Amino acid sequence: MHRKPIRLQTRESLSLALSAPAVIWFTGFMILPLISMFYLSFTDWGSLVSKQNFVGLAQYQKVLSDPIFWAAFQNTAFQVAVAVPVMTFAGLMLAYYLNLRPRGVNLLRVLFFTPALMSISAKSMLFLGVFSTDGLLNFGLRSFNLESWTTTWLANEGTALNSIIAIDIWSGIGFTAVLLAVRLSGIPQDIFEAAEIDGAGHWRKIWNISYPVMKDYFGGLFMLQFLWTASNSAALVLLLTSGGPGTSTYTLSYLAFSKAFLQQSVGYSQVAAVSLFLFGVIGMLVIRRIFRSVV
Amino acid sequence: MSNSSVRQGLSKKSASPLLGSFLKTLSHLSVWIYAAALALPIYYVVISSMKTNQEIFLSPASLPKNWSLANYSLAWEAASLGDGLINSSIVVLFSLAINLALAIPAAFAIARSENRLSRALSGLFAAGFLIPPFAALVATVLLSIWLELFHTKLFLILYYPAMTMPLAVLLLTQYMRSIPKELAESAKIDGASQLQILVHIYIPLSRPAIVSVVVVNFINLWNEYLFALILAGPKVSNQTVQVALPTLTGVYTSDYGLLAAGTVISLVPVYLVYAILQRRLEGALAAGAVKG
């Protein structure tokens, strides 16, 4: 009788040992690099092959007084503030629409999902064509007699960042909609019928039923889209605008990338990476707060 | 049906039926406008891939006059897409295998025990899910240099399983928790070891979750760009297809037909998987993208 609990315990820790390889692997390849990022941000490291010196907060001082950093910060804040709410809330309405099983629902599902299957490089190549001088967008505008609206979308300081945000929204709405629709079809449909009997229209069924029922899930998705949008912009910017024209499409993640791999200042890059990381953490806390407090 | 719509009409006294049907049309319309916005660029890239540049320039929206596959063979050669596809396949396949080999036992262990340690472990992976790996790219490069694996496929093969670990462990743990404990208990009484319980009971019963993990990770890894670019490097023998594709812009800046053909080639494998596994994929992503 005395032995049994002891044996059970050893068994339990024995079986937990099965998770050790995964934990070690994950720690080695993900957590350790993350920790060294903080260390590197306190160095004056230039190119990857040069020597590094620990300079403490001096690197931060240097970066925080650089206008490009603040331009990148502003662009990132603007990008997520526009793209994430638009894609998630439009996605929610579309998910509701899909859940009504309207005509063509299968076609819509497939279409909505297609951007989720595209890599960033494929998306970039696609939109190089769409946004180019003689591309699809300008052609469309011309055929509606809107010649004056045409521009070189990715090379114009006023439109470049917005074009990149448009790509985020373009692909984000459909993906969010499909995920939320799967979730929505899993909740008992009779609450919608009950609401209908009480006279609720579609608008109220979206905001007073679908939304509160899925609020936690929706909030989680909102957070992930926030993280993805902020961190994925490096690749999109690299392939489409390289930060230009001027600094108009520099984002924090692109800044971290370009300083390390194109401009030989690893220390600077890591300050940008830490900033992005903190921006992500603070952003998530804020988002969580908002979703918890707003009913 | 008609009854409820009558009620609905009655309840909105202020809204005239005309306005109601106007709004209805408007919402149908905006959905289909968005659908068209998704379809048009894809249509554009597919038709452009079969046109000459002059045709793309003069009549961007119309179907090609002479359907030509010349761009495809050119793009295939110019960007070494064949090598890219092979490299991608090798990297993704091995990464998926290592990922499963590590994540399945881990999920089994975490799902089966309910002490503080197991909760801490699932907390670790849940937190990992929220860390965008991008932030640590430079440090990951240093790790690969230190391991003397910089600019090799092997490092990607080792790194990708870690990148996809949180999703895999979370999805599998969640699923394995729903397997009745009695099954394992009775097997234990019959003298089965932990490993036997894992192999003969948990793995077969978790097949749906394992397939979900494989599919979601396949898409994520196949499409990964930045780490493949930096870690595996620009050599043709290491380039994944995602890294190879944009090299077309460097050589042929103004040749959109070529670029379009390359893009279509790079999309085919993922769309094939999607065509086969549509429903499962959506469900898996919905369950996995956000836990709970």
Tally A–B CB contacts below 8 A. Answer: 287
- Provide the mean pLDDT of chain B: 85
Please tell me the predicted confidence (pLDDT) of residue A12.
56
Q: How many other C-beta atoms lie within 10 A of the C-beta of residue A201?
A: 16
Cβ neighbours for A46, distance < 8 A, ≥ 6 positions apart: A264, A265, A266, A267
Question: Strands (DSSP E) along A63-129, which ranges?
Answer: none
Please tell me the predicted confidence (pLDDT) of residue B3.
44
B198: which 2 tokens? 């894992």
Q: Give the C-alpha separation, A86 to A236, whole Å.
A: 19
pLDDT tens, residue by residue, A143-202: 898 888 888 899 899 999 999 999 999 999 999 999 899 888 888 888 888 888 888 888
Q: Do B139 and A40 touch (CB under 8 A)?
A: yes
> Which CA distances in Å does A269 have to A45, A169, A280, B96, B270?
9, 27, 16, 31, 33
Residues B154, B95 contacting (CB under 8 angstroms): no
Confidence of residue B253 (pLDDT cuts 50, 70, 90): low
Instruction: Say whether pLDDT at A135 is over 70.
Output: yes
Q: Give the C-alpha separation, B136 to B126, whole Å.
A: 18
B80: which 2 tokens? 């070494």
Backbone angles phi, psi at A245, to 5 degrees: -70, 145
Please tell me the predicted confidence (pLDDT) of residue B14.
47
Please tell me the predicted confidence (pLDDT) of residue B208.
86
Where does residue B166 rank: exposed (0-12), middle (13-18), buried (19+ CB within 10 A)? buried
What is the pTM (predicted TM-score) of this model? 0.88
B17: closest CA among A282, A267, A201?
A201
User: Quick check: helix, strand or coil at residue B203?
Assistant: helix
Q: Do A25 and B132 touch (CB under 8 A)?
A: no
Please tell me the predicted confidence (pLDDT) of residue B255.
83
For the segment A122-134, the average pLDDT, to the nearest whole number, is: 90
Instruction: Say whether pLDDT at B53 is over 70.
Output: yes
More confident residue, B115 or B268: B268
Contact list, A11 vs chain B (CB under 8 Å) = 194
Please tell me the predicted confidence (pLDDT) of residue B45.
92
- A266 to chain B: closest CA residue: B138
Q: Give the C-alpha separation, B2 to A51, whole Å.
A: 77
Please tell me the predicted confidence (pLDDT) of residue A118.
92
Please tell me the predicted confidence (pLDDT) of residue A202.
85
Backbone angles phi, psi at A43, to 5 degrees: -115, 165
Residue to substitute from B137, B172, B217, B281, interface A, most A β-carbons within 10 A: B137
pLDDT tens, residue by residue, B169-203: 998 998 899 898 888 888 888 888 888 899 999 99
pLDDT tens, residue by residue, A269-282: 999 999 999 999 99
Instruction: Say whether pLDDT at A121 is over 70.
Output: yes
CATH of A66-293, one of 1.10.510.10, 1.10.3720.10, 2.60.40.1120, 3.30.390.30: 1.10.3720.10
Indicate the range of B9-13, B22-26, B56-60 predicted with least confidence: B9-13
pLDDT tens, residue by residue, B115-136: 888 889 888 998 888 877 888 8
Q: Do A273 and B138 touch (CB under 8 A)?
A: yes
Instruction: Say whether pLDDT at A8 is over 80.
Output: no
A284: closest CA among B126, B201, B75?
B126
Q: Do B137 and A260 touch (CB under 8 A)?
A: yes
pLDDT tens, residue by residue, A226-272: 999 998 899 999 999 988 898 999 999 999 999 988 988 888 999 99
More confident residue, B242 or B113: B242
Report ipTM (2 d.p.). Answer: 0.86
Looking at the partner chain, which of A121, A173, A179 has a beta carbon nearest the beta carbon of B285?
A179
Q: Do B7 and A132 touch (CB under 8 A)?
A: no
